[in-house]
A = this chain, B = another copy of it.
C-alpha cells in the first residue's frame, strides 16, 4: 500500500486548524519570497486560477496574494513534501512579494542576536 510519502495522489495532511504551510520561491532567481498558509479552498483557488491564494490566520479569510497591492504570484509549478504538509509554490512575482515593500520577506540576516539588512 502506498504511503503518504510514496503515493501518486495529492492527500494534504492538514493541521489541526485545517492548514498546510506554503513556501513561495521565485521561479527565476529561486529566492524564497515568503511563507503563508493554505486551507483546502486556498489550494483549490490556487490550482484553478494559477495565482497563489492563502488563508489569512490574522484576518480569518481567504486571500489572493496581491489582491490589494497588485503584487500577485503567478504559479509556475507546485510541489508537495514527503509528508504532504508543506507546499512549494514556484511562482513569478508581479512585484515585491513582502507587504513591507521588500522583494522578499527575508531581508534581514541573523548574526547572533542582531539582524542585519541586505
* Chain A interface residues toward B at CB < 8 A: 5-10, 21, 23, 25, 30-32, 34-35, 47, 77-83, 86-88, 98-100, 102, 105-110, 112-117
Bound-state Cα–Cα, A87 to B107, Å: 11
Interface pair A35/B86, CB less than 8 Å apart: yes
CB distance from A74 to the nearest CB of B (A): 16
Centre residue among A25, A83, A102, A115 by max chain B CB count within 10 A: A115
Which residues on the B side are within 8 Å of A34 (C-beta)? Answer: 81
Which residue of chain B lies nearest to A109 when distances are taken between CB atoms in the complex?
A: B79
Interface pair A114/B8, CB less than 8 Å apart: yes
Which residues on the B side are within 8 Å of A9 (C-beta)? Answer: 113-115
Which residues on the B side are within 8 Å of A79 (C-beta)? Answer: 106-110
Pick from B80, B106, B107, B113: contact of A10, CB below 8 A. Answer: B113
CB distance from A16 to the nearest CB of B (A): 11
Which residue of chain B lies nearest to A102 when distances are taken between CB atoms in the complex?
A: B82
Interface pair B82/A8, CB less than 8 Å apart: no
